Copies of this chain bind each other. A is one copy, B any other.
Amino acid sequence: MDEITTQPAATPPDPVLAAINFDANGLVAAIAQQHDTGEVLMMAWMNAEAVRETLATGRVCYFSRSRGRLWRKGETSGQVQHLRELRVDCDGDTLLLLVHQDGVACHTGRRNCFFRSARDGGLVEIAAPVVSPETLYGHTHG
Residue A121 is within 8 A (CB to CB) of chain B in the complex: yes
Say if the beta carbon of A136 comes within 8 Å of chain B.
Answer: no
> What's the dominant secondary structure at chain A's contact region?
mixed
Q: Say which size band chain A's interface belongs to.
A: 35 or more
A19 to B39 Cα, complex, angstroms: 22
Pick from A33, A107, A116, A118 the residue with the most CB of B within 10 Å: A118
Q: Which residues of B contact A16 (CB under 8 A)?
A: 118, 122-123
Check if A85 is an interface residue, CB within 8 A of chain B.
Answer: yes
Determine the chain B residues whose CB is within 8 A of the CB of A38 once the complex forms.
33, 37-39
Query: How far apart sit A85 and B40, CA to CA, in the bound complex (Å)?
Result: 14
Residue in B closest to A33 when the chains form the complex, CB atoms: B40
